[in-house]
Structure 1
């Protein structure tokens, strides 16, 4: 049996999405910037996609920028706001458990003369709100906090974060990559200046993303060339993938409640079945303030490299954390920020599911983990 349990890294492209994309590739292939009829035909699909995405988030179509994915969106928002607002101040705030497409940008900005405060988190991965309040200053121009953590699934108290930042002069950027398809997001409920998503986390194609930028938000856009995306992102739009992103977003929103119930049931089944098999483990993060699709577990009896190898040999495909750090021997910065035990990250595995995951697959995973535990228990 083969089980794909690495959906936080990427999800399979949904058949409906592929069908929509193939139609664009085969029939509506024009450049949306061309003024002839074939170009106008492609422009129609681009404009429809922009309106649909904007409606999903409760914003204006003009506030939607199509990008190549979350890394580009995060880079554009963070650097763009920081550079544009540098005359007002050079103090920035983020958390210690952000994705590297956020953290590495802040580290670069520090090298360029900005000052960055990295907020602590508790053992469930929740940002320290009091520290956020105390960190905000007159010269703070940007706060960037992810909605749902990609390694442990923790949901940040975004309403509280938004309210705290709103009392300051700072702008708020949100990495919502792991939230789409799991949480309803109406940007009108917040005072968010910029928000990033990517299609391949919710059944869409890789290489397609969205950056929402609130109207009148001061951003420096550095990708030059043509006048696409109303002069904010030069380069011919990838209409087939944008249409695929839009279809995936529509499907994720339509089945949000049912998918959430299914995933939470799978998550509970996973935990309970491991307990019934007397496998020693601890949950990294929270069972309550988290989404259903990510479960990060600490197994004290085995190192993560060995566990991943043995699970792979059993046809179970998981990871130790962010796919963007694949091949790195550095322990998870997320778990390092959460726990004083530096060794914990070396024994922790992330399991992440999607709406196609089944109870049979969960039981197979727990059975194989049980076998691995008894093998190592006997060797000890």
Structure 2
């Protein structure tokens, strides 16, 4: 009697790996990925390689997301301390003998040129989530103080490079973990009020603070110029204010319905600086108008709400804190990029997730989304 051996097909072998993937989250990712490819085809048309490179970067990020999603959140805890330690050590190495480009020392040559600050976008929330998980049920004020020190060390090293955009992202990722861990509102509200008052004072005394020869303490000259240019772009319309002015012109000229796909004059006549990276939202707004911008914002809101829902239902404190931090980081990315392109925030190097060109940022995005998928899968396994 012969034995019949059933050999599973590749699809049948793949199904257990796909089981537990969060459908709504995957749908939101798909929508934004399509928007990114469409925008890159138009804004990067003069450089045809940009579209194909963007697609390749998305595939790499998707593969990373798929792999990370297979790792249970509790196993991710094992990477927290080593990744944080390596990240801080590399930041110190950058400060000592990093590569300097355009006045900033942000890169390190280790056979290949890397930017260690990118590692901290994931290492920081991992480390703080690990720290609070180890102290679950017995948190004291001292634990929050230690968490603050763990956060401020890499942020200070990144600010020193200087790289204000990445520092803001790392700081926001860490603060999200500390906030979700239960930081008292009495400690949160005063800095916010101080920030609001500070902004009001800067706006009120803008003529004096932005006068030629006046130097602000702490900030670098270029950072001061960015703030002053935000308050009055016409101060230097062909220099520092050019980015903001052209971004606002492009978005405004799109009107309600937009000029149409591939029809953006500001984009294709090279008036928008960095139209495939930091200012890609201006190119999108010109061609798809207000209705397109609202749809893009709605897609981001859908993704962020889904991420928060996954965080709330995480099976452990570590999973909840990590998923919440990753989700709020996505919000900060989108909010800061759209705000600076629209002339509401100073210009900093923050990409728009899925839409902006950039391999390193896309890999970081894939890692973050993989963590969200991992938490979602762990939640479904616990429920079943």
* Fold-level similarity (TM above 0.5): no
Q: Of the two structures, which has the highest relative contact order with CA contacts closer than 8 Å and spacing of 6 or more?
A: 2
TM-score relative to the length of structure 2: 0.28
Structure in which a larger fraction of residues adopt strand: 1
